[in-house]
């Protein structure tokens, strides 16, 4: 039999996109900061073509904004963008919860319950460790576990495409929660969802939206 060729590794553009994504999400690249191609190409020792491919990935994830004649800059989610993203999340997660309840009621099988429990445990561990970046990722993973439990590949695919933008939002939620409170809130939320309370999604997303807006000093509606 012919030997199997090894799977190709990530491209240079994907590696660079990952590095820039991490810098955006941890705040090393601030909201609104220009991303100058010449400077970034030299700093990361890549060609302009590789850099443009990496930036295109981040534009698709809405972490970077590219404008004709003005170049690229780190996205700064204004209130309209924040609310729009939260509305989309709410619609997707509400439908996922409805599908989940239609399929299993409140008696979730192990295949459904175990990933959600694992995501909650990871959130608790990240909070206890005092790791803000890990906490944000674990927070997002709890919501993804619920969506994935619905068994709808298309809904899961769309939600996966929102991950980076969601992490950018969750970075703003962290200061509002004392240690351990985020995990406790999400355990209660998951229990409401398990009982089939689809309105729990709307209440949960509305609360996080209010926290984000208050953190910016925006007037409450």
Q: In a 3-state reduction of DSSP, which class is residue 9?
A: coil
The β-bridge relationship of strands 64-67 and 34-35 is unpaired
C-alpha separations of 197 from 40, 63, 85, 109 in Å: 48, 32, 22, 18
Tens digit of pLDDT for each residue in 47-57? 999 999 999 99
Could you tell me if 184 and 127 are in contact, meaning their C-beta atoms sit under 8 angstroms apart? Answer: no
What's the pLDDT at 211?
Answer: 82
Tens digit of pLDDT for each residue in 83-140? 999 999 999 999 999 999 999 999 999 999 999 999 999 999 999 998 888 888 899 9
Chain mean pLDDT for the chain: 87
Average pLDDT estimate for 16-26: 91
C-alpha separations of 135 from 79, 174, 179, 188, 214 in Å: 23, 8, 10, 17, 20
What's the pLDDT at 68?
Answer: 86
The answer to whether the 12-74 and 79-216 domains have the same CATH topology is no
Q: What is the pTM of this model?
A: 0.81
pLDDT for 71 beyond 70: yes
Question: Between the CA atoms of 68, 74, 79 and 80, what dihedral angle is there, to the nearest 10 degrees?
Answer: 30
Average pLDDT estimate for 38-62: 93
Domain 12-74 belongs to what topology? Arc Repressor Mutant, subunit A (1.10.10)
For the beta carbon of residue 92, count every other beta carbon within 10 angstroms. Answer: 21
C-alpha separations of 189 from 175, 207, 209, 210 in Å: 20, 12, 16, 17
User: Given the structure tokens 């674990």, which residue do they identify?
Assistant: 138
pLDDT for 219 beyond 50: no
Kindly state which CATH superfamily the domain 79-216 is placed in: GntR ligand-binding domain-like (1.20.120.530)
Average pLDDT estimate for 71-93: 90
Q: Where are the domains positioned within the chain?
A: 12-74, 79-216
């Amino acid at each position: 039999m012919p030997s199997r060729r090894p799977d190709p590794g990530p491209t240079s553009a994907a590696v660079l996109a990952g590095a820039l994504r991490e810098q955006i999400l941890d705040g090393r690249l601030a909201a609104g900061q220009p991303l100058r191609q010449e400077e970034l190409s030299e700093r990361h020792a890549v060609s302009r073509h590789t850099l443009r491919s990496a930036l295109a990935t981040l534009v698709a994830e809405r972490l970077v904004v590219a404008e004709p004649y003005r170049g690229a800059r780190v996205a700064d989610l204004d209130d309209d963008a924040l609310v729009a993203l939260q509305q989309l999340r709410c619609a997707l997660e509400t439908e996922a919860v409805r599908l989940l309840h239609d399929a299993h009621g409140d008696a979730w099988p192990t295949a459904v319950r175990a990933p959600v429990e694992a995501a909650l445990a990871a959130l608790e561990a990240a909070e206890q460790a005092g790791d803000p970046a890990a906490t944000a990722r674990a927070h997002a993973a709890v919501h993804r576990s619920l969506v994935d439990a619905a068994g709808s590949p298309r809904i899961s695919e769309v939600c996966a495409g929102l991950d980076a933008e969601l992490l950018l939002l969750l970075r703003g939620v962290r200061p509002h929660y004392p240690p351990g409170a985020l995990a406790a809130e999400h355990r209660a939320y998951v229990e409401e969802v398990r009982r089939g309370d689809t309105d729990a999604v709307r209440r949960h997303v509305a609360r996080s939206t209010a926290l984000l807006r208050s953190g910016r000093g925006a007037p409450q509606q």
